């Protein structure tokens, strides 16, 4: 009985409270009802505005991100283009340096070749000069030898001359004119040579061999 009575009391209390709330609502003033309606209307508007702001913000952020991406792509393209230009310039500079190095090397080789050719030419000229000098020396030596031999032969055999016989001066002297100059020549008396002169006529041309014996010119042979 006590439990049933407790439940009933609780039910009555709850019902009273609900009735009181309903009455309060019904008894509320029109202004309060209007405020409540305004609050109810304003809330969705604010939510809509917040949604629109969020959408605009997202669009702005998306646009910013797109612009940033575009700027980054442009910067990357510019950097790639600059890098390519720098690489091309470096390649051209390298090629130019290689060409200049090749030209310099070729120039050195040409100069070295010219120098070598000059040395060869000078060596050839020097060799030719030495050979010519040796040849000249040999010729001079041969000439000197021939002259010495001739002098020795002349000394031993006498000198040959051709002149005009002018006559017999005495049994051992004859006169002969050589190159327009008359000279007295000694001849051994009663020799075969003197006999030849005795048989000649004055004015006759004669070729003879003589030698100098001190101041005397001695005829050894008549040809």
pLDDT at 81: 82
Task: Name the stretches of the chain with pLDDT < 70.
Answer: 1-47, 61-69, 90, 94, 97-98, 101, 104-105, 108, 112, 115-116, 119, 123, 126-127, 129-130, 133-134, 137, 141, 144-145, 147-157
Structure tokens at 47: 């939510």
- Alpha helices (runs of H) in the chain, residue ranges in sequence order: 2-27, 30-157, 192-198
Q: What is the pLDDT of residue 144?
A: 62
pLDDT at 123: 53
Q: What is the pTM of this model?
A: 0.33
From residue 206, alpha-carbon distances to 43, 169, 170, 200, 216 in Å are 172, 16, 18, 9, 19
Q: Which pLDDT belongs to residue 134?
A: 61
In 3D, which of 149, 142, 152, 189 has the Cα closest to residue 169?
189
pLDDT of the residue at 78: 85
pLDDT at 19: 47
Q: So what's the pLDDT on residue 122?
A: 76
pLDDT tens digit sequence for 54-113: 777 777 766 666 666 677 778 778 877 887 887 788 678 768 866 886 786 687 577 757
Residue 56 CA to residue 23 CA, distance in Å, equals 46
Interatomic CA distance for residues 40 and 34, integer angstroms: 10
- pLDDT of the residue at 64: 65
For residues 206 and 197, what is the distance between their CA atoms, to the nearest angstrom? 9
**Token digits for 52?**
């629109």
* Nearest CA among 173, 170, 176, 184 for reference residue 202: 176
Whole-angstrom Cα distance, residue 140 to residue 122? Answer: 26
Which residue in this structure is represented by tokens 């005009």? 164
Q: Which of 150, 178, 148 is nearest to 219 (CA)?
A: 178
pLDDT of residue 23: 44
Q: In this predicted structure, what is the pLDDT of residue 1?
A: 47
């Amino acid at each position: 009985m006590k439990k049933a009575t407790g439940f009933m009391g609780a039910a009555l209390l709850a019902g009273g409270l609900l009735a009181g709330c309903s009455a309060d609502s019904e008894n509320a003033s029109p202004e309060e009802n209007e405020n409540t309606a305004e609050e109810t209307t304003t809330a969705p508007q604010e939510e809509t505005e917040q949604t629109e702001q969020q959408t605009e913000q997202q669009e702005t952020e998306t646009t910013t991100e797109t612009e940033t991406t575009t700027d980054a792509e442009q910067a990357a393209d510019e950097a790639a283009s600059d890098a390519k230009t720098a690489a091309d310039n470096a390649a051209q500079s390298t090629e130019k340096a290689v060409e200049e190095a090749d030209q310099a090397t070729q120039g050195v080789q040409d100069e070295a070749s010219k120098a070598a050719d000059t040395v060869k030419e000078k060596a050839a000229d020097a060799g030719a000069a030495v050979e010519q000098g040796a040849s000249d020396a040999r010729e001079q030596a041969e000439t000197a030898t021939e002259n010495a031999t001739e002098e020795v032969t002349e000394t031993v055999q006498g000198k040959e001359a051709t002149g005009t016989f002018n006559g017999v001066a005495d049994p051992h002297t004859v006169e002969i004119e050589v190159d327009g100059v008359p000279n007295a020549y000694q001849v051994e008396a009663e020799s075969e040579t003197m006999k030849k002169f005795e048989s000649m006529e004055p004015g006759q041309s004669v070729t003879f061999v003589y030698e100098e014996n001190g101041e005397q010119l001695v005829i050894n042979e008549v040809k």
